[in-house]
Structure 1
Amino acid sequence: MSTYTADVTWTLKEGEDFASGRYSRGHTLSFDAGMTLPGSASPHVVGRWAVKEAVDPEEMLTAALSSCHMLTFLHLARQAGFRAMAYRDHAEGVMGEIAPGRQAVTRVTLHPRIEWSGPAPDAESLAQLHHAAHEGCFIANSVRTEVVVA
């Protein structure tokens, strides 16, 4: 069993009013390898109190699903004898209502584009590799969000 950690830190800034909701949602996200990222709530959720230059949880979930799918896909493609040279994805997460007053990232669509060296998988083999990558992705197995490969 593996354990993963992240440290999330937020501090009320001088002049902000926590009680009225007038405070920055900006914070930092630090990971075990020493990487620190600026985080925030989404501007779609809190408007001007978001930090536009920071990553929000919905973006991180979308990126985590895309990254996990890619890493699993590359491993399976290598095992199948294919040689990938580049992989690019423009993943899109969609927020939707799941019950009155409750929202969730309900769908993430992946748009992978892969460059191959040598023989590339045919359409059926490519679809099978993507299906197997989805089944093997730890993050996809951890969420209820629908993940679609377009």
Structure 2
Amino acid sequence: MAGYVAEVDWSLREGEDFAAGRYGRGHVLRFDGGIEVAGSASLHVVGKWADPAAIDPEEMLVAALSACHMLSFLHVARLAGFGISGYRDRAEGTMAEIAPGRQAVTRVVLHPAIDWTGDAPDAARLAALHAEAHAVCFIANSVRAEVIVA
């Protein structure tokens, strides 16, 4: 079994009013590789209390699904004998109400663009490779949101 660590660090700033909900949602995320990333609640959720330049949890979920699919796809394509020199994606997540007062990221659409070396798979084989990558993607296996490869 593998383990993963992420640290989240937030503190109230001078002049903010926690009890009244008037406080910044900006924080720092630290990962075991040493990188620090500015984090925040989504601007869509808390408005002016968000840091629009920081990454929010919803964006991190969409990015995690995209990155996991890419890594899984590279693996299954290599095993199938295909060569890839580049892979890009512009993943899009959708938040929706799932019950009164409850929201969730319910759908993530991946838009991969792949640069092939040598022969590229036909449309049916490409779809099968994406389906296999989705099936082995750890993150996709961990969420209930619909994940679509467009």
Aligned counterpart, 1:73: 73
**Deviation of residue 11 (structure 1)?**
0.4
Distance 1:125 1:79 in 2: 13
Structure 1 unaligned segments of length 5 or more: list them: none
What are structure 2's unaligned runs of at least 5 residues?
A: none
Q: How far apart, in 2, do the equivalents of 1:59 and 1:141 lie? A: 18
- Structure 1 match to 2:4: 4
Measured in 1, the distance between the counterparts of 2:108 and 2:3 equals: 25
RMSD (Å), alpha carbons: 0.4
1:95-134 mapped onto 2 (5 Å cutoff): 95-134=95-134
Give the match for residue 24 of structure 1: 24
1:39 aligns with 2:23: no
Give the alignment of 1:52-67 within 5 angstroms: 52-67=52-67
CA deviation vs aligned residue, 1:29-87 (integer Å, no higher than 9, x gap): 00001000000000000000000000000000000000000000000000011000100
TM-score (normalizing by structure 2): 0.99
Identity of matched residues, %: 68
The code of the aligned residue for 1:62 comes to V
Measure the CA separation in 1 of the matches of 2:57 and 2:34: 19
Quote the Cα distance in structure 1 between the aligned partners of 2:2 and 2:78: 25
Question: What's 1:91 paired with?
Answer: 91
* C-alpha deviation, 1:106, in angstroms: 0.2
Separation in structure 2 between the aligned mates of residue 139 and residue 117 of structure 1, nearest angstrom: 27
Q: How many residues align?
A: 150
